[in-house]
Amino acid sequence: MQALSYRNELPPGFLVASARELYRLLPGPTLVDLPGERPDPLFVSVLQHGNEDSGLRAIQRLLADYAGRPLPRALTLFIANPMAAQAGHRRLDGQPDFNRCWPGTDLAQNDATILLSEVFNAVRGRPLFASVDIHNTSGDNPVYACVNTLDPTCLQLAARFADTAVYFTRPRGLQAQAFLELCPAVVLECGRVGGETGVEAARAYLDGLLHSDTIAQGAPEPSALQLLRSIGLVEIRPDVHFSVGGGDASAEFALDSGIDRLNFRQLPAGTAFGEVRAERWPIRVTAPDGREISDRFFEIRAGQLRLKRSAMPSLLTPSARIIRQDCLCHLMERFEPDGLAAA
């Protein structure tokens, strides 16, 4: 893996380069410090997953708006994985997932954990205003925010972006989780790769933070933010051969090609997730505390993997590669206002 590069300016051509072209301008993971009128920098990370380019496109539009004039606030930009972006993949074969390798990860030390610890240590002494990590989804999902804490300031950051936020604590080793030690942190999910709505929403959001003196301290009003929390991380077991969309008779578990249509819908018990063609369970569900709870949510009935209780999934995708590299989905539930106060 290439060493971390440091820059105090963007290379010529950056503002018009596609994610696939960035490798021509940057040798690898790059930390860019840009000055601004307010000295406390906004930290923004993009392209932790190389196929998710909304963050890059939002930053390009934002910086183009300020061409020839100073930014309202200093900006520290981390461009994480131009190598995977060149290939159009979430991550390259043999690479770990960058957004599982930040301080606090459960993974053993590797090249990525060393690299991202260097990024973390490079900024930890700075008076960071906030941290924003920008992503896309590969399936049909709305534009929404994610938080790894119920701290009111982070919830305010989420509410400034969208009217829906998801709270989760697994998987470990996320950038936003690590940066909670340094400043308020949020994740922006900008919808499906290639969409325009999320790009413009992220650009406007970042511009607002560059202009803001403070972040509101109290929790958002319930009418301003629908809060969901992950109650189970669903993964296909690594030794299970699966397919999406049929056509593979040898698959032990077969998902429908339109599986992502179930995202952000409250599904009733009995909803089928896929056809099970083997004797063993194809999935594992992990609770936020790390316990396996597969049989709490699912059963195999009539050859189908079915929900045993109502739940709302997110991050379902028709991409078998991304399912294998990430997860099948999160299962979520809504927070009632009194549940939020008690959490």
203-213 pLDDT, tens per residue?
999 999 999 99
Cross-strand partners of 42: 75, 130
Whole-model pTM: value is 0.95
pLDDT for position 343: 39
Tell me if the bond preceding 282 is cis, omega within 30° of 0.
Answer: no
Judge contact between 154 and 186, C-beta under 8 A.
Answer: yes
Question: Strands 298-301 and 304-307: what pairing?
Answer: antiparallel
Structure tokens at 243: 């397919």
Give me the mean pLDDT over the 152-175 stretch: 96
Give me the mean pLDDT over the 156-168 stretch: 97
272-318 pLDDT, tens per residue?
999 999 989 999 999 999 999 999 999 999 999 999 999 999 999 99
108-130 pLDDT, tens per residue?
999 999 999 999 999 999 999 99
198-238 pLDDT, tens per residue?
999 999 999 999 999 999 988 998 889 999 999 999 999 99
Given a cut of 70, whether residue 84 has pLDDT beyond it is: yes
250-276 pLDDT, tens per residue?
999 999 999 999 999 999 999 999 999
Domains along the sequence of the chain with CATH: 5-224 (3.40.630.10), 231-342 (no CATH)
Q: Which of the four pLDDT bands, split at 50, 70 and 90, describes residue 337?
A: very low
Q: To the nearest 10°, the Cα dihedral for 39, 3, 27, 71?
A: 0
293-296, long-range: CB < 8 A, 24+ apart: 293/232, 296/232
Q: What does the alpha-carbon distance between residue 253 and residue 94 come to, in Å, rounded to a whole number?
A: 25
Give me the mean pLDDT over the 48-70 stretch: 97
